[in-house]
Structure 1
Amino acid sequence: MSDERPTWLESLGDAELDELDRFLRGHAGEDDLLLDGVHGLLTALAIGPEPAKPDEWLPEVLNAPFASEAEGERVLGLLAKLNDSIPAELEMDAYEPILGEVDREHGSALTAAGWCEGFSRGIDLRAPIWESRLGEDPELMELLTPIMALAVDEGVLSGDADFEKLSEAEYEECLAQIPQAVGAVAQYWRVHPPTERERTAGGGASASVFREQPRRRGGRWVH
């Protein structure tokens, strides 16, 4: 991994990503998000029907007190920078998901499990709107296809009883399609913003069609 990222992006450099990764790992509980999951969550909010303020998504990310005021300011600053980088990368067609890396029998491999878990939690924060639109417009579901396929394959989403696991080639193809899918969904919501009816749809709805109980991931993250 190199730090050769476009200078026009206010994105975190590798050293900053490492720092945030270490903090999240050091304070993560059993079902807490790691860096890949945080990136997935922030991505879902960035491309979704309505923006979310930090006080909505921070509880999904931080569940332990800071050791000091300085540490708090530093971590919150890194999270804010990560959050702000996503729209900028999408605008410049330079978005890349932060993915996990797990050990396999024949070496390491990329995994979207954590990213998809975070993405599903981001959708949950706007569940009524997503559920309403997904139930009415098959175009949105189609745009989400590679992300949905990965999420089902990793057990983040419920799949049909006869669902077959993706082959290695199919999995890698879906990974490669994440940036395109993310950009397409962002464009979809720009062109088809939520209606007032969707905004005021039944409170307390859950995007259970999109996620199951999250699973803990191991390994490392890569960008």
Structure 2
Amino acid sequence: MNTPKTEWPSSLGDDELEELDQYLRGHVGEGDLLLDGVHGLLSALAVGPMQVLPEEWLPEVLHEPFTDESEGNRVLALLAKLNDSISAELDVDAYEPILGEVDTETGPVLSAAGWCEGFSRGIDLRAGLWEKRLADDPQLMEMLGPVMALAVDEGILSADAEFEKLSDEEYDECLAQVPGVLNAVNHYWNEHPVTEVEIEAAVRPAEEKDLQATPPRQRSGHWVH
């Protein structure tokens, strides 16, 4: 669908994206997400099986209290706008992932590493539901193929079998498929919503883990354990 630009959703402008990017870069610690990672995280939540409220995903993005109230309100407003824009963009086929850049001998090239890391963490926030459905329904696994290929290629996920590095052409092809993948996954969960049984099965282990006061699990790099 070719949607006229005047009908596109109210996404962040370049100045707003730059402002949010600069804030995140100025408050980043080891392993923290930058703008591309935040976009990946919010994208996973937008197309996922259940709503994830801001109080649950904001700790994945912000790691220290604001020292300036007005700055804090501004950052939260930008994050809210970024979050809202993703579903709106998907609705009109205007979604594009926010990607990082890496320097190579021939100049900077686009990298999906940060976006894939964020997407993986978004899935982790509803890991039980994703893992159960991915194990039960190969259709969902197949849909996610291009994103998983990028994530394995970037070392975000571990492959159970030997994985040959993507060629530049294959990498670009997978990147081009990301918007279609997200649309397909979004439709999948709308057409095959989670059941009460799945929710109970996902919630119970999390509650038991809280009761045992176990330390947070280290990310293994797998979506399916």
- TM-score, normalization by structure 2: 0.88
Task: Indicate how the Cα distance of structure 1 residues 116 and 5 shifts in structure 2: closer, same or farther if over 3 A, else same.
Answer: farther
- CA distance in structure 2 between the aligned counterparts of 1:134 and 1:15, rounded to whole angstroms: 38
Matching of residues 49-88 of structure 1 within 5 Å: 49-88=49-88
Q: Select the residue among 188, 202, 205 that pairs with 1:203.
A: 205
Q: Which runs of 5+ in 1 are unaligned?
A: 213-223
- Is 2:111 aligned against 1:98? no
- Check conservation: 1:157, 1:211, Cα contact below 8 A: no
Q: 1:6 to 1:176 in 2, by over 3 A?
A: farther
Q: Match of 1:138?
A: 138
Aligned to 1:15: 15
Within 5 Å, give how 1:171-210 maps onto structure 2.
171-201=171-201, 202-204=204-206, 208=220, 209-210=222-223
User: Which has the higher relative contact order, 1 or 2, with Cα contacts under 8 A spaced 6 or more apart?
Assistant: 1
> Cα RMSD between the aligned structures?
1.9
SS at match of 1:200: helix
Q: Does 1:40 align with 2:48?
A: no
CA distance in 2, matches of 1:176, 1:186: 17
2:114 is aligned to 114
What secondary structure sits across from 2:29 in the alignment? coil
In the alignment, is the contact (CA less than 8 A) between 2:135 and 2:224 conserved in 1?
no
Please give the alpha-carbon distance, in whole angstroms, between the structure 2 residues aligned to 1:147 and 1:98.
Answer: 14
The 2-side partners of 1:114 and 1:150 are apart by 11
- Change over 3 Å in CA distance of 1:127–1:113 after alignment to 2: same
Q: Give me the identity figure in percent.
A: 66
CA shift digits 1:3-58 (9 cap, x unpaired): x9645412100000000000000000011000000000000000000011100000
Larger radius of gyration: 2
> How many aligned residue pairs are there?
209
- Aligned residues of 1:43 and 1:119 also touching (Cα < 8 A): yes
